[in-house]
Chains A and B, each alone.
Chain A
Amino acid sequence: MRHAETTAGAMGHSLPMKAGRRGELWRRLRRNKWLYVMILPGLLYFLIFKYAPMYGLVISFQDFKPYKGIADSPWVGFKHFERLFTEPDFLQILGNTLILFGMNLLFFFPVPIILALLLNEVRVSVFKRTVQTLIYIPHFMSWVIIASISYVMLTMDGGIVNELIAYFGFQKVNFLLSPEWFRPMYILQVIWREAGWGTIIYMAAIASVDVEQYEAARMDGAARFRQIWHITLPAIRGVIVVLLILKIGDVLELGFEHVYLLLNSMNRRVAEIIDTYVYTAGLRQQQFSYSAAIGFFKSFIGLLLVMLANRLARKMGEDGVY
């Protein structure tokens, strides 16, 4: 260290312009050395657990064998990607994934916005705080807990929902095993867990709206709905666009854990999504390269879509996310 510094210092004397700047950089690096020490553990984390797996994606162009490692496994080009698009299973799984994504966008995305608008109209602050406290809670529960509570309530043997259905004289419904109930169950659980928490960001955006605008609108005789439509909604448009872009980037991130917990042999036809397929093909059946190729495809599409959506938003005059 010390030696290196004297070298830099000497260079600084002989070449005043260029090396002077370099000497200054060196001094800054030295002065901040403890800051670099602080950053190091976190940086190592990202390198090992985020960037090493990205490098590991090269196995999707190999016939990877764990005992051979990346260095000695044979390269096979796009073989696994070709298989991907010819596999009839895969098209169905991609379809399932896209349907769940569409439902997310259609049935979940607007809910926090509507909830936030409704909450904003509440003038009794105790009521407002109580409602907020209650609807945030499910966000902190694991998917296992959400799925378990759903399970004990929906099961055919003694679940409260089916008991009530039977009590009113209807046929019991096998929510947990029937394919047609998987998608509604999935989206309802997403709404139950995340809708309340999702209001926070919109509430903050709404809070920044100038109160005088509402007063003026009321003077002009604008009713509640018109105030919401013409003042509140435009004010939070930027936030909505940003969250929409992020959501679109997550097109294929539907929550592996969540779907995996709902998946069973009876509803697999509609419930198998890319993530669960990667898990089964990769870890259960040890097809490392093939499933890495599927994962790669998924991540790549996600990145592409977020960039596309961002561009679109900028064209429409919004800020975008980056």
Chain B
Amino acid sequence: MIEDRTISGRIFSAFNYTLLAAIALASFLPFVHVIAGSFTTNAELAASKFVLIPKVWSAEAYQFIFSTNTIFRAMAVSAGVTLLGTLLSILISSMMAYGLSRRDLDGRKPIMFAVVFTMLFNGGLIPTFLVVKELGLIDSYAALVLPIAVNAFNLIILKNFFQNIPDGLEESAKIDGCSDFGILFRIVLPLSMPALATISLFYAVTYWNTYLNAILYLDSSAKWPIQVLLRQIVVLASGIEYSSSLDGAVPPPDQTVKMAVIVVATLPILLVYPFLQKHFAKGALLGSIKG
């Protein structure tokens, strides 16, 4: 479309570009502020009223948080849960989605209904907790993965994507003697890379961001993922091993230290974001439009 060159059109454009630029900056500047704040000294942060680019650079906050292995351990827990959880989720979801994408499968309608119904109605917090407890998963890493292993929305996106792959490809593979597993892993999945990338990102983000299930199901603080530790350091500022290991009184962590922990917990997502960004907008729509 061409630019509107009337006077009112120009005024509208000027206003529109300014507003959108302001909104984009407003949603991103808090991250910049926190990143900048984490790389300066506490004195500098307190003295200069507005820190987007600090005058004094310092890595002392990072030296402090990495002086014990508390953060490393929490990061390792989160990374492990994210990696294994995403693999498991993708495996289970794509197998189920492929099965349900085959129109000749008896019973696919009632199964799909059962899946969609879970999006409208659920047993809620307490009954779910009791099931997890009954399975003996309390205080295990499995409790961070299994209760959220399949997401109905992600499953439907994958199913719709698989459905749009031309049947002819599968037919000819079958004539060549390929099994259903062979078709899924050698033909369907390689053709579905954009969808798989998107869904992997969604699952990975969910696992990395796990907080609620950790506070519900984990008893020992040694198993805490990074989100729980972050919460402890920023808001509660108590019960952290490194501050209690300091002698005498336990001062609340410095503002720069809090910012450094936020950066550490945010960084993995900010790092993968640019690579996956071009896929996910498209991927998110695959499911929602055809529903």
Task: Report how far A46 CA is from B12 CA in the complex, Å.
Answer: 51
Task: Report how far A225 CA is from B15 CA in the complex, Å.
Answer: 13
- A152 in contact with B8 given A57-B123, A164-B50 (CB within 8 Å): no
CB contacts (< 8 Å) of A302 on chain B: these are 120-121
Task: Report how far A127 CA is from B129 CA in the complex, Å.
Answer: 47
Q: Does B84 contact A (CB under 8 A)?
A: no
Q: A201, B285: Cβ atoms under 8 Å?
A: yes
Instruction: Give residues in B with beta carbon < 8 Å to A.
Output: 1-4, 6, 8-9, 12-13, 16-17, 19-21, 23-25, 27-28, 30-31, 33-34, 37, 45-46, 49-51, 92-93, 95-96, 98-100, 102, 104-106, 111, 114-116, 118, 120-131, 133, 135, 146-147, 149-150, 155, 179-181, 184, 205, 208-209, 211-212, 216, 227-228, 230-231, 234-235, 255, 258-259, 262, 265-266, 269-270, 273, 277, 281, 284-285, 288-289, 291
- A52 in contact with B259 given A144-B230, A153-B33 (CB within 8 Å): no
Q: Does A88 contact B (CB under 8 A)?
A: no
Q: Does A113 contact B (CB under 8 A)?
A: no
Task: Report how far A144 CA is from B258 CA in the complex, Å.
Answer: 13
CB contacts (< 8 Å) of A57 on chain B: these are 123-124, 127
Q: Which of A38-61 contact B (CB under 8 A)?
A: 38-39, 41-43, 45-46, 48-57, 59
A296, closest chain B residue (CB):
B124
Q: A32, B180: Cβ atoms under 8 Å?
A: yes
Question: Which residue from B1, B9, B277 sits with its C-beta under 8 Å from A214?
Answer: B1
Q: A144, B99: Cβ atoms under 8 Å?
A: no
Q: B105, A32: Cβ atoms under 8 Å?
A: yes
Q: A160, B50: Cβ atoms under 8 Å?
A: yes
Contact bitstring A49-76, B, C-beta under 8 A = 1, else 0? 1111111110100000010000000000
Task: Report how far A192 CA is from B28 CA in the complex, Å.
Answer: 9
Q: B121, A283: Cβ atoms under 8 Å?
A: no
Q: Which of A280-322 contact B (CB under 8 A)?
A: 282-283, 288, 291-292, 295-296, 298-300, 302-303, 306, 321-322
Which of A7-15, A90-98, A115-123 forms part of the interface with chain B? Answer: A115-123
Q: A148, B120: Cβ atoms under 8 Å?
A: no
Q: B124, A48: Cβ atoms under 8 Å?
A: no
Given contacts A42-B92, A54-B127, list 10 more A-B pairs with CB under 8 A.
A32-B105, A38-B96, A41-B96, A140-B205, A143-B209, A149-B30, A279-B125, A283-B126, A292-B124, A295-B123
Q: B125, A137: Cβ atoms under 8 Å?
A: no
Q: A118, B96: Cβ atoms under 8 Å?
A: no
CB contacts (< 8 Å) of B50 on chain A: these are 160, 163-164
Q: Does A35 contact B (CB under 8 A)?
A: yes
Question: Chain A at the B interface: mostly helix, strand, loop or mixed?
Answer: helix
Instruction: Give residues in A with beta carbon < 8 Å to B.
Output: 25, 28-29, 32, 34-36, 38-39, 41-43, 45-46, 48-57, 59, 66, 115, 118-119, 121-124, 127, 130-138, 140-145, 147-149, 151-153, 155, 157-158, 160, 163-164, 167, 192, 196, 200-201, 204, 211, 214, 218, 223-225, 249, 256-257, 260-261, 275, 278-279, 282-283, 288, 291-292, 295-296, 298-300, 302-303, 306, 321-322
Question: Which residue from B99, B122, B205 sits with its C-beta under 8 Å from A38?
Answer: B99
Task: Report how far A46 CA is from B216 CA in the complex, Å.
Answer: 20
Question: Which residue from A149, A158, A201 sits with its C-beta under 8 Å from B31?
Answer: A149
Q: A39, B13: Cβ atoms under 8 Å?
A: no
CB contacts (< 8 Å) of A260 on chain B: these are 212
Q: A38, B131: Cβ atoms under 8 Å?
A: no
Q: B127, A35: Cβ atoms under 8 Å?
A: no
Nearest-neighbour CB distance to chain B for A161, whole angstroms, equals 10
